[in-house]
């Protein structure tokens, strides 16, 4: 079953091979390189990466979505859950440079978190986590707006020379997005 999440502004749907050209273009971004391990060499690499996302859906360990605004790919969001089950999962995301500051990441995080809490797909999930580098205040703000409370400061660990923030969302948290 293909999962598609819709709001008034956004659509979250699994990545499709036809998104490869957009993925290549969006990956050419300094902020993405700075704060994520997301790298796309070329069109062929993009197709390979998109195809690999399908495996995550089969194992339920990596539920990844393209984020579409006005019908265009404008970001990515993923829920990673070891073994495809358990109480803990980690959410990750990025948005395209032109789409930043418009609330896309926050809305996508809220949509995915609500879906995971409220559907059988997320059965047993109790504490989704969001981890970002302390030098990334935009991501910290996304966490705050979506009810992911700061729980711990993580020590630097290779390849990250700076500390990290561990944010956790409880089911009862009230987001401001």
Ligand X SMILES: CC(C)(COP(=O)(O)OP(=O)(O)OC[C@H]1O[C@@H](n2cnc3c(N)ncnc32)[C@H](O)[C@@H]1OP(=O)(O)O)[C@@H](O)C(=O)NCCC(=O)NCCS
The greatest distance separating any two alpha carbons of the chain, rounded to the nearest whole angstrom, comes to 43
Q: Which of 139, 147, 148, 168 is in the footprint of ligand X by CB under 6 A?
A: 139
Considering the complex, what minimum distance in angstroms separates the CB of residue 42 from ligand X?
Answer: 21
Q: Please identify, using beta-carbon distances, which residue of 44 and 143 lies nearer to ligand X.
A: 143
Going along 72-158, which residue ranges are E strands? 72-80, 88-95, 127-133, 148-154
Does position 112 interact with ligand X (CB under 6 A)? The reply is: no
36 binds ligand X (CB under 6 A): yes
Query: Which residues within the stretch 70-109 sit at the binding site for ligand X (CB under 6 A)?
Result: 93-95, 99-106
Secondary structure letter of residue 171 according to DSSP = T
Which strand ranges, in their side-by-side order, compose the sheet holding 10-13? Answer: 5-6, 10-13, 62-69, 72-80, 88-95, 127-133, 164-169, 148-154
Give CA–CA dist 63/59, Å, rounded. 9
Q: Which stretch binds ligand X (CB under 6 A): 31-39, 47-55, 120-128, 150-158?
A: 31-39
Q: Whole-angstrom Cα distance, residue 78 to residue 98?
A: 20
Residue 31 interacting with ligand X (CB under 6 A): yes
137 is a contact residue toward ligand X (CB under 6 A): yes
Question: Per rule CB under 6 A, is residue 175 in the interface with ligand X?
Answer: no
Q: Which is nearer to ligand X, 124 or 137 (CB)?
A: 137
Measure the CA–CA gap between 69 and 81, rounded to whole angstroms. Answer: 26
Q: Select from 69, 112, 142, 168 the one that contacts ligand X (CB under 6 A).
A: 142
Binding footprint of ligand X on the chain (CB under 6 A): 31-32, 35-36, 93-95, 99-106, 132, 136-139, 141-142
């Amino acid at each position: 079953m293909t999962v598609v999440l819709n709001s008034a502004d956004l659509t979250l749907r699994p990545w499709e091979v036809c998104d490869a050209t957009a993925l290549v273009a969006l990956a050419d971004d300094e902020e993405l390189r700075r704060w994520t391990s997301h790298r796309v060499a070329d069109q062929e690499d993009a197709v390979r990466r998109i195809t690999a996302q399908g495996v995550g859906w089969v194992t339920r360990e990596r539920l990844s979505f393209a984020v579409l605004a006005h019908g265009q790919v404008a970001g990515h969001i993923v829920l990673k859950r070891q073994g495809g089950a358990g109480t803990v999962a980690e959410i990750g995301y990025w948005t395209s440079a032109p789409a930043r500051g418009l609330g896309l990441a926050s809305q996508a995080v809220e949509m995915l978190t609500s879906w995971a809490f409220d559907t059988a797909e997320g059965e047993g999930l109790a504490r989704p986590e969001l981890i970002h580098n302390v030098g990334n205040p935009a991501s910290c703000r996304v966490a705050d707006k979506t009810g992911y409370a700061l729980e711990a400061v993580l020590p630097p660990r290779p390849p990250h020379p700076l500390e990290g923030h561990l944010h956790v969302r409880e089911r009862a948290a009230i987001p401001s997005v």
